[in-house]
Amino acid sequence: MSLRGAMSISKPQTRISGFPPVVGSQPRVLILGSMPGIASLDVQEYYALPRNVFWPIMGELFGAHFKLAYQQRLDVLTACRVALWDVLETCIRPGSLDASIDTQSVSANNFGWLFTSYPTIRQVFFNGKKSAAMYHRYVQPMLDSDTADIPGNTLPSKSPAYASLSFDEKLAAWTIVRDAANRG
């Protein structure tokens, strides 16, 4: 191994922290990612990477189009009773890929508090398989029986790293979020 390779191995990893939840007064659905990517962390906005199709899909489903200012998009979602958060509060992850998350470093967000504070949340939607797996591993065992039973659906990731589905296929899969938010 070269000296250069040895130096990269010993380079300290930086712990990253996610964002607070985006929650209106009476959310019905909660969309969960894993941890914001580098582009999102840099600008402190959920799903900031332009190639991520989260906002185009939210635009089609709820009117939270990417052309709106970030706070306006959040306001549209919360008015439609949609909440956003991530499974993880902190972790070590070089880069933006979920596969790079150091699972020994994770700290989950406080979902007991969220579900107690917002008992109107009736359904959780996972933005990809990794957020679902982390929720089931790190969060669900810590929940009480009332909140552990909130149904969850794993949907196709809207990340550009998940390119096996077209935009229209992802949009079709994500329409169940709108249906759940509108259910009274």
CA atoms within 13 A of residue 150's CA, in its CB half-sphere: 29
Does the annotation count 52 as an active-site position? Answer: yes
Q: How far apart are CA 175 and CA 121, in angstroms?
A: 18
61: amino acid identity, one letter? L
Query: Looking at residue 163, what is its pLDDT?
Result: 67
pLDDT score for 102: 62
User: What pLDDT was estimated at residue 3?
Assistant: 46
How much is the pLDDT for 10?
Answer: 44
SS3 76: helix
How many angstroms separate the CA atoms of 79 and 27, rounded?
Answer: 9
* Residue found under tokens 């065992």: 141
Query: What are the structural domain ranges in the chain?
Result: 11-182
pLDDT at position 5 is 45
Active-site residue, from 52, 109, 110, 182: 52
For the CA atoms of the chain, what is the radius of gyration? Answer: 17
Amino acid 98: pLDDT: 61
pLDDT along the chain (184 residues), means of 10: 44 78 97 88 90 94 95 98 94 64 77 96 94 92 87 84 80 96 85
| CA pair distance 64, 42, nearest whole angstrom | 21
Which of 131, 25, 24 minimizes the C-alpha distance to 78?
24
Number of H helices, E strands in the chain: 8, 7
End-to-end Cα separation, the chain, in angstroms: 62
For the domain covering 11-182, report its CATH number. 3.40.470.10
